[in-house]
């Protein structure tokens, strides 16, 4: 009877049951590039890089910090609170309702999470913008978090690493969100005055006012493969100038070829690369404090560290995962002399002929 009660009856009940089993929504994930279906657990174990296509999918901020620090151990840096809805903004919904939904979905207070810990034994402070929280937009709380993280790095005398991912400034906070651009720029200057490395990792996507401010003020700019990095998106530019844009325009590899980023590194080699760069820049900063810092326009270069940029590139490329820049054809190169000549020719062609003008004109 025990066998019937414990085995047979549960199986019959399971077959006759009409209730649907709960299946997680993200059990399978589709690759945006190839359409390949990947089991979520396999994708998570591979740092959210699709195994077949090497497509780098977005990561949330706790996962970023977990993969960055030694053993996944880090301490969250507390951030001062700010006013939630200073402008009492409302469009289709109240801004406060949008914030509540974003906090409930992400379990975060705002778009930026700051943590401190050890990276290969060296103390670092890192900030991650989470695109899930209102597209990682820059508001008062996000700006305060970034400034707090940078000042914490100054206090600990450690490098500061930023993982940027944002759609730009947060429109619901108006001018108050735009004011975070100069505020964070001043905080970056505090890092430079302290001769501490400021390393920016540009992830997909990094756009708008974030690109126009602190995301492009780092000592070293590292991009993930295929990341969209721009101020205005390619669709907006194409509709404005009414011309076909080059393939891969504003992607990480295109910007590497045109000198906007220093290197493109695979996510699996990113931690090792960041460790090498931090150790190299910190050693250079210590040498610079002992000797006279190399001056450029009256200010210390490379945060006061006398480190050659070629040395940084060589150390980073030892990982074997740094993408080499493509050769830019002459048709895409900018030559100031030719540009001025074309502008002068166009101006002379559009100007009226003085000799043919009437005397009474």
Q: pLDDT tens, 18-50?
A: 555 555 567 899 999 888 899 999 999 999 999
- pLDDT, average across residues 323-330: 68
- pLDDT, average across residues 211-233: 95
At residue 302, the pLDDT reads 45
At residue 312, the pLDDT reads 59
Per-residue pLDDT for 332 more than 70?
Answer: no
At residue 314, the pLDDT reads 64
pLDDT digits (tens, 9 = 90+) for 162-178: 999 999 999 999 999 99
At residue 182, the pLDDT reads 95
At residue 301, the pLDDT reads 43
Q: What percent of the chain has pLDDT over 90?
A: 65
Q: Which residue has the higher pLDDT, 346 or 189?
A: 189
At residue 176, the pLDDT reads 95
Per the DSSP assignment, residues forming a β-bridge with 228 are 251
At residue 1, the pLDDT reads 56
Alpha-carbon distance 252 to 226, whole Å? 5
Per-residue pLDDT for 337 more than 90?
Answer: no
Q: CB-based contacts of 228: which residues, under 8 Å, 6+ apart?
A: 204, 205, 206, 207, 250, 251
At residue 313, the pLDDT reads 61
Count CB atoms within 10 A of the CB of residue 171.
15
At residue 12, the pLDDT reads 73
Alpha-carbon distance 79 to 113, whole Å? 9
Look up the pTM and report it.
0.77
pLDDT digits (tens, 9 = 90+) for 71-127: 999 999 999 999 999 999 998 899 999 999 999 999 999 999 999 999 999 999 999
CA distances, 61 to each of 64, 198, 209, 215 (Å): 5, 19, 20, 17
At residue 303, the pLDDT reads 47
């Amino acid at each position: 009877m025990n066998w019937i009660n414990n085995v047979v009856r549960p199986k019959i009940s399971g077959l006759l049951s009409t209730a649907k089993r709960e299946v997680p929504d993200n059990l399978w994930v589709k690759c945006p590039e190839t359409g390949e279906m990947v089991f979520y657990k396999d994708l998570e174990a591979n740092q959210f890089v699709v195994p077949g296509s090497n497509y780098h999918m977005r990561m949330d901020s706790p996962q970023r910090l977990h993969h960055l620090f030694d053993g996944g151990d880090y301490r969250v840096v507390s951030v001062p609170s700010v006013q939630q809805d200073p402008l009492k903004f409302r469009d289709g919904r109240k801004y406060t309702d949008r914030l509540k939904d974003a906090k409930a979905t992400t379990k975060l207070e705002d778009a930026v999470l700051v943590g401190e810990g050890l990276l290969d034994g060296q103390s670092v402070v890192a900030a991650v913008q989470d695109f899930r929280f209102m597209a990682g937009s820059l508001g008062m709380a996000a700006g305060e978090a970034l400034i707090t993280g940078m000042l914490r790095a100054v206090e600990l005398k450690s490098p500061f690493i930023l993982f940027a991912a944002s759609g730009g400034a947060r429109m619901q906070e108006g001018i108050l969100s735009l004011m975070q651009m100069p505020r964070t720029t001043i905080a970056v200057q505090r890092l430079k005055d302290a001769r501490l490395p400021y390393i920016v990792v540009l992830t997909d996507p990094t756009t708008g006012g974030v690109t126009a401010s602190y995301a492009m003020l780092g000592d070293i700019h590292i991009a993930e493969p295929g990341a969209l990095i721009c101020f205005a998106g390619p669709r907006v530019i194409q509709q404005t100038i009414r011309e076909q844009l080059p393939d891969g325009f504003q992607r990480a590899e295109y910007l590497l070829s045109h000198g906007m980023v220093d290197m493109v590194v695979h996510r699996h080699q990113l931690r090792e690369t960041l460790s090498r760069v931090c150790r190299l820049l910190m050693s250079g900063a210590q040498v610079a404090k002992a000797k006279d810092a190399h001056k450029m326009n009256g200010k210390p270069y490379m945060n006061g560290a006398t480190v050659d940029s070629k040395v940084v590139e060589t150390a980073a490329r030892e990982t074997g995962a740094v993408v080499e820049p493509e050769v830019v054809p002459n048709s895409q190169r900018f030559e100031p002399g030719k540009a001025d000549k074309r502008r002068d020719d166009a101006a002379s062609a559009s100007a009226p002929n003085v000799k043919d003008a009437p005397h009474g004109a």
